[in-house]
Structure 1
Amino acid sequence: MSASTQATRDLCPAEQLDGLVVLTLNRPEARNALDVPLLQAFVAGLAEGRRAGAGVVLVRAEGSAFCAGADVRSDDGTATGRPGLRRRLIEESLDLMGDYPAAVVAVQGAAVGAGWAIATAADITLASPAASFRFPELPLGFLPPDSTVRRLEAAVGPARALRLLALDERFVADDLARLGLVDVIPEASLDGKAREMAARLAALPPELLRDLKTGLSAWKRPHSIDRPPSKGSHEH
């Protein structure tokens, strides 16, 4: 293995278990902000997991933050003649997560922009009480990924999805738990609970898990008429 290949894998190490791949975002000094090398490692890990037969993926992260979003201070691919590469890799990673019969994400600390998009791409999102979520894309002049928009609209309805996606507000884990988007787990138990749940899913027949997921996606449930999180429960 070349030094460059090893360095790429170190950015997102993979654990291959029975029917399960565990991928760890490992750029804690940058709060796991998604630059091109980390995204390439993440995409490669997702693709390799499926090729190896994993039916379930667990995405976790090292450090105090889950993911601070796209690293806009880094090169987006322009330097190598591929402008927009970072955005394309983000979208590819979300598509690959959706290709698994089940995806689990464990969020500690901040999940910003593309970090929140990764959490939204999961079928089950576990979050510590200190986790926080924010989409700053629109004020920065970008649209969130299409798959993220669709999933949030299906989960909470268009009005709430607009608030979550457009206003650059900071929501805490309890806010999203009230909307049914995350389950809050004590931070000391978060990693163990995520691994346990992912392993239980991986023990199921993957084709049946896929069929169940497809059936649930096709079921259009009425949206709750509960009020959205109060302004006092999050920061602007």
Structure 2
Amino acid sequence: MFALNALRTAIRVQSASSPSAAAIRALSTATAASAGSSAAVPDVSKLSFNTLLVSKPTANVGLVTLNRPKALNALCDDLMSELNTALEHFHADPTVGAIVITGSERAFAAGADIKEMQPLTYSKCVNTNFLAHWTRVAESRKPILAAVNGFALGGGCELAMMCDIIYAGEKAQFGQPEILLGTIPGAGGTQRLTQAVGKSKAMEIVLTGDKYSAQEMERAGLVARVYPVETLVEEVVKKASKIASLSKPVVQLCKEAVNASYEMTLKEGTHFERRLFHSTFGLKDRAEGMTAFVEKRAAKFTDE
């Protein structure tokens, strides 16, 4: 993430010129060796978690399954801390190009753990900056895809929105019911939801606390695609594997450009995008991709 932020800062400061080839090659080097060699990354099957199941369903995809079945995967502090640890593991694994987060068929995550929050006070929330580390999913440098079955309510909906793409099973239900508990969303629900579905729809969702179907959320723009419940995770892993098979530095640049659109004017955003586009011409992968297209063959990306 540091390399991307540094490149982004350089582009803003040097608006009259594109990033150097050396800068973009440094990005690709950081991407391919963010945590050293693959030998330094522990075997994912040997990792131990209390609230998660972590695996690699394909050679290039990391899968995190929320696993608190008795609580419908309610998000507690321990779960979110373990999720951050799992994501750091996959960030350190150079073979992983994309990550999938899912839950059970009954619930992606039915919300935050109310029993854990109920005794909190204002002063404790402020002094501990409660929920601050829950949003680290949104800071991932690798693409994260949410595979949502069942309930994605409150914090569960917010967690899904922190991911880069949301796919849903046909029986999934989304909502922000915090208003019914005398509070408001606290992990980005009012902000990311408004960006995704617009002010009027977001207001309806957060002010009523109602649940909304996967199909309605697809029409509203929150969900990218709806799949049958039983094939959802398999289909999302396929999508993730396709993304992971592409040039990792280019995928990161593309993700950075899309996310920047929420923070810039159209003029600033198109300029930023154009400079990132220019920077890809310092990559071997860009040359390989275009050469492969001209030669009518599959590209062989090396993340350089």
TM-score range with shorter-chain normalisation?
0.7 to 0.9
Task: Sort the Cα spacing of 1:169 and 1:92 in 2 relative to 1 into closer, same or farther, 3 A.
Answer: same
Say how many residue pairs are matched: 213
Matching of residue 188 in structure 1 with residue 230 in structure 2:
yes
Mapped contact 1:137–1:144 kept (Cα < 8 A): yes
Q: Distance in 2 between matches of 1:7 and 1:202?
A: 22
Task: Sort the Cα spacing of 1:76 and 1:37 in 2 relative to 1 into closer, same or farther, 3 A.
Answer: farther
What displacement does 1:91 show? 4.2
Matching of residue 212 in structure 1 with residue 260 in structure 2:
no
Partner of 2:28: none
Pick from 2, 11, 14 the counterpart of residue 54 of structure 2: 14
Partner of 1:62: 104
Mapped contact 1:120–1:152 kept (Cα < 8 A): yes
Partner of 1:173: 214
* Letter of the structure 1 residue corresponding to residue 200 of structure 2: A
Matching of residue 92 in structure 1 with residue 151 in structure 2:
no
What displacement does 1:71 show? 1.0
Name the TM-score, length of structure 2 as normaliser: 0.62
Matching of residue 115 in structure 1 with residue 156 in structure 2:
yes
Pick from 228, 243, 258 the counterpart of residue 201 of structure 1: 243
Partner of 1:227: none
Partner of 1:73: 115
Q: Distance in 1 between matches of 2:228 and 2:147?
A: 11
Q: Which runs of 5 or more residues in structure 1 are unaligned?
A: 1-5, 223-236
What displacement does 1:212 show? 1.2
Across the aligned residues of Structure 1 and Structure 2, the Cα RMSD in angstroms comes to: 3.0
Task: Sort the Cα spacing of 1:210 and 1:134 in 2 relative to 1 into closer, same or farther, 3 A.
Answer: same
Task: Sort the Cα spacing of 1:105 and 1:45 in 2 relative to 1 into closer, same or farther, 3 A.
Answer: same
Q: Distance in 2 between matches of 1:12 and 1:146?
A: 20
Partner of 2:31: none
Highest CA radius of gyration, 1 or 2?
2
What displacement does 1:122 show? 1.7
Cα offsets for 1:177-231 (capped at 9, x unmatched): 1112111101121111011111111112222112112222344799xxxxxxxxx
Q: Which runs of 5 or more residues in structure 2 are unaligned?
A: 1-45, 267-304
Q: Is the helix fraction higher in 1 or 2?
A: 2
What displacement does 1:48 show? 2.1
Partner of 1:35: 76
Mapped contact 1:39–1:89 kept (Cα < 8 A): no
Pick from 172, 184, 193 the counterpart of residue 152 of structure 1: 193
Q: Distance in 1 between matches of 2:79 and 2:257?
A: 33
Partner of 1:45: 86
Q: After TM superposition, list the pairs within 5 Å mapping 1:119-158 onto structure 2.
A: 119-145=160-186, 147-158=188-199
* Letter of the structure 2 residue corresponding to residue 44 of structure 1: T
Q: After TM superposition, list the pairs within 5 Å mapping 1:99-110 onto structure 2.
A: 99-110=140-151
Q: Distance in 2 between matches of 1:169 and 1:18?
A: 40
What displacement does 1:160 show? 1.9
What displacement does 1:90 show? 4.8
Task: Sort the Cα spacing of 1:89 and 1:24 in 2 relative to 1 into closer, same or farther, 3 A.
Answer: farther
Q: Distance in 2 between matches of 1:70 and 1:91?
A: 14
What displacement does 1:89 show? 7.2
